[in-house]
Amino acid sequence: MKDGIHPAYHPVIFKDASSGFAFVTRSTQSSEQMMEWTDGKSYPVITMEITSHSHPFYTGQQRMIDTQGRVDRFKRRYAR
């Protein structure tokens, strides 16, 4: 590999915002927020909305979203 053209590749903690599940992997992303891992080292934390720990496809749990209320609000807002 050529020097100076590739982004820094380092350990990062990815944390699921909905469940709190976290795991360490390597990434080119970085963050100002740091967290201490079980090995005693501090790593940058990337917060994610959905991971395999909370995604309905992997967990088998379907979450219902109030789409009917959203549709009604839309119709009321733009009714003429």
List pLDDT tens digits, range 4-53.
898 889 999 999 888 888 999 999 998 999 999 999 999 999 998 877 77
pLDDT value at 58 more than 60: no
Per DSSP, the three-state class of 21 is: coil
Task: Over range 70-78, report the average pLDDT.
Answer: 82
Give pTM, 2 decimals: 0.64
Q: Where are the beta strands (DSSP E) in the chain?
A: 10-16, 22-27, 34-36, 42-48
Task: Give me the residue label for tokens 């990815």.
Answer: 14
* Confidence at residue 64, expressed as pLDDT on a 0 to 100 scale: 58
Every domain of the chain and the residues it spans? 10-74
Q: What is the mean pLDDT of residues 50-65?
A: 65
